[in-house]
Copies of this chain bind each other. A is one copy, B any other.
Amino acid sequence: RIDAGRLLASLEALGRFGALPGGGTNRLALSDADRAARDWTVDRMHALGMAVRVDAIGNVFARYAGTEQRAPVLTGSHIDTVRTGGLYDGNYGVLAGLEVVATLREAGLRTRRPIEVAFFTNEEGARFQPDMLGSLVAVGGLPLAEALATRGIDGATVGEELQRIGYAGQAPVGAPQVDSFVELHIEQGPVLHQQGLDIGVVEGVQGICWLEFTLEGCSNHAGTTPMALRRDAGLVAARITAFAHELALRYGGRQLATVGAVELRPNLVNVIAQRAVMTVDLRNTDGAALARAEAELLGFATRCAAEQGVVLGQRRLARFDPVAFDPTLVELVAQEAQALGLGTLRLPSGAGHDAQMLARVCPSAMIFVPSVDGLSHNPGEHTEAHHLVQGAQVLLQVLTRLANR
| Chain B residues within an 8 Å CB radius of A274 | 84, 378
Which A residues between 252 and 301 are near B, CB-CB below 8 angstroms? 256-274, 279, 281, 283
Query: Which of the residues B218, B258, B272, B374 comes within 8 Å of A260, measured between beta carbons?
Result: B272
* Separation of A256 and B221 alpha carbons in the complex (Å): 11
A239 close to B (CB within 8 Å): yes
A317 close to B (CB within 8 Å): yes
A189 close to B (CB within 8 Å): yes
A383 close to B (CB within 8 Å): no
Q: Which of A84, A131, A188, A238 has the most CB of B within 10 A?
A: A238
| Chain B residues within an 8 Å CB radius of A206 | 223
A103 close to B (CB within 8 Å): no
| Among listed A70-78, A112-120, A164-172, A240-248, interface-contacting one | A240-248
Query: Which of the residues B83, B84, B264 comes within 8 Å of A262, measured between beta carbons?
Result: B264
Q: Are B260 and A268 in contact (CB under 8 A)?
A: yes
Work out how many copies of this chain go into the complex: 2
Known: A221-B189, A378-B274. A84 touches B351 (CB 8 A): no
Which A residues between 222 and 236 are near B, CB-CB below 8 angstroms? 222-227, 229, 232, 234-235
Which A residues between 28 and 54 are near B, CB-CB below 8 angstroms? none
* Separation of A264 and B225 alpha carbons in the complex (Å): 26
| Chain B residues within an 8 Å CB radius of A354 | none
Q: Are A223 and B261 in contact (CB under 8 A)?
A: no
* Separation of A284 and B349 alpha carbons in the complex (Å): 51
Shortest Cβ gap from A200 to chain B (Å):
11
Shortest Cβ gap from A129 to chain B (Å):
7
A208 close to B (CB within 8 Å): yes
Known: A187-B224, A189-B224. A219 touches B84 (CB 8 A): yes
Q: Are A269 and B273 in contact (CB under 8 A)?
A: no
A23 close to B (CB within 8 Å): no
* Separation of A376 and B218 alpha carbons in the complex (Å): 10
Known: A238-B259, A239-B242, A264-B262. A129 touches B269 (CB 8 A): yes
Shortest Cβ gap from A128 to chain B (Å):
11
Q: Are B270 and A260 in contact (CB under 8 A)?
A: yes
Known: A235-B241, A274-B84. A220 touches B266 (CB 8 A): no
Q: Are B270 and A124 in contact (CB under 8 A)?
A: yes
A125 close to B (CB within 8 Å): yes
A352 close to B (CB within 8 Å): yes
A143 close to B (CB within 8 Å): no
Query: Which of the residues B124, B256, B270 comes within 8 Å of A227, measured between beta carbons?
Result: B256
A210 close to B (CB within 8 Å): yes
Shortest Cβ gap from A59 to chain B (Å):
20
Given contacts A153-B268, A222-B258, A223-B283, list 5 more A-B pairs with CB under 8 A.
A82-B266, A83-B271, A125-B269, A210-B270, A260-B270
In order of increasing CB-CB distance, the 3 nearest A-B pairs are A189-B224, A224-B350, A238-B241
Enumerate 13 A-B pairs (CB-CB under 8 Å) in ascending A order: A82-B268, A84-B271, A189-B225, A206-B223, A218-B378, A222-B260, A223-B349, A225-B256, A227-B248, A227-B257, A238-B242, A260-B272, A261-B267
